[in-house]
Amino acid sequence: MINQDFFLALEDLEREKGISSADFLSALEDALVIAYKKHTGEASGVMVKAVPEKKTIKIYSYKNVVEEVVDPDKEISVEEAKEIKKSYKAGDMVSQEIQSKAFGRIAAQTAKQVLMQKLREIERANTVNEFEDKEGELMACTVRRVEDGNVYVEIGGKEIEGILMPKDQVQGEKYEVNQRLNVYVKKVKNTGKQAQIVVSRTSNGLVRRLFENEVPEIKQGLVQIKSIAREPGQRTKIAIYSEDAMIDAVGACVGNKGARVNAIVSELGNEKIDIILWSENPLEFISKALSPAKVLKVVQTGEESAVAVVPDDKLSLAIGRSGQNVRLAVRLTGWKIDVKAQSAAGEFGVTEEENADFDFAE
């Protein structure tokens, strides 16, 4: 009923995709049972017998031989069985090859469908297995198509498809077919019908992985990334620290003539990056986080809340366009920060002594 091309395809499937013939034939048998019942309207059992050496598959309907028939679709009496073959007795199984040409076509069609289904299942399983330990990693990809706002990318060398959804795309960033990108693997989803690799260009994790790739001191653990605050496509603040006083953590991240940080800025579409030296003193950390503005004084006003006093002419710089600079500083430090100009600082004002000596900013 099923020609040699089918067996050749089955051999290719086993060799290339790692799916065994036995598993496939088991699935095929289940599918043919359903197909046969739909075709004949009977509930008889169906048995699939494959002979790979001869490149043949034969399909049989069968009934159990019983003394008294209760279910005619599945059982046959001893008397009726003996009419087929005299040696039949109760407990035997009578099988007859299905020769219908119409069902032969159905069987071939069913085999093709099962083959394709098994192929999809194995590809999905392989995708999940390959990428389940890749979540949180940086991977190179190629844009293959853009549809309905989603960007579909090919990841790695095995043509695995990933999806860059609108919420994971940087506003203003253009994506074109065959464009090469670095993406952050957010999630590997096994949806039941297909595996889906969700990737991102907006995640803080993308910045973290880019710095790890560009700065050997970070990959080696000599410099630590303490926190990241980001508004994708616009500005990022990253707090770094080294326990070794001999290591210039900021210099390591900037690189010779800015080479390291410039490579990351370029990858992020010229997104501005402020590299902040982390401090265990939260008030000093706040002062640094408001860079590039100079901070005169930081006063704690409550639990994880503070006022930062800046020179009058640096107020707009400290706050940033649409409040971006202070907003990122808040996310970076985890503290609520109120920025005040020196002339309006009131009780938080800077004394002459402090004005001369106090300066957290570098």
Check residue 252 and give its pLDDT.
96
CATH architecture of the domain 203-278 equals: 2-Layer Sandwich (3.30)
Domains 203-278 and 283-362 in one fold? yes
CATH 3.40.50.1390 assigned to domain 138-200? The reply is no
In DSSP terms, 50 is beta-bridged to: 57
Q: What is the pLDDT of residues 132-165, one digit of tens each?
A: 778 889 999 999 999 999 999 988 665 678 899 9
Check residue 142 and give its pLDDT.
92
Check residue 158 and give its pLDDT.
59
Q: What is the pLDDT of residues 21-78, one digit of tens each?
A: 776 777 776 777 777 777 776 666 777 776 767 777 777 888 899 999 898 878 899 9
Token duo for residue 237: 């603040």
Q: What is the pLDDT of residues 186-225, one digit of tens each?
A: 988 766 566 678 999 999 999 999 999 999 999 999 999 9
Average pLDDT in the chain: 84
Check residue 359 and give its pLDDT.
46
Alpha helices, DSSP H, located in the chain: 4-17, 21-40, 78-84, 101-131, 204-214, 216-219, 249-254, 259-267, 282-289, 315-319, 324-333, 352-357
Q: Taking a C-beta distance cutoff of 8 angstroms, is the pair 201, 184 a contact?
A: yes
In DSSP terms, 277 is beta-bridged to: 240
Give me the CATH code for the 283-362 domain, please: 3.30.300.20
Note the maximum CA span of the chain.
118
Angle, alpha carbons 274-279-283 (nearest 5°): 95
Phi and psi (nearest 5°) for 281?
A: -85, 110
Where in the chain are the domains? 4-131, 138-200, 203-278, 283-362
Check residue 202 and give its pLDDT.
96
Q: What is the rounded CA–CA span in Å between residue 26 and residue 7?
A: 15
Q: What is the rounded CA–CA span in Å between residue 153 and residue 141?
A: 6
Q: What is the pLDDT of residues 78-93, one digit of tens each?
A: 999 998 889 999 999 8
Give me the CATH code for the 4-131 domain, please: 3.30.1480.10
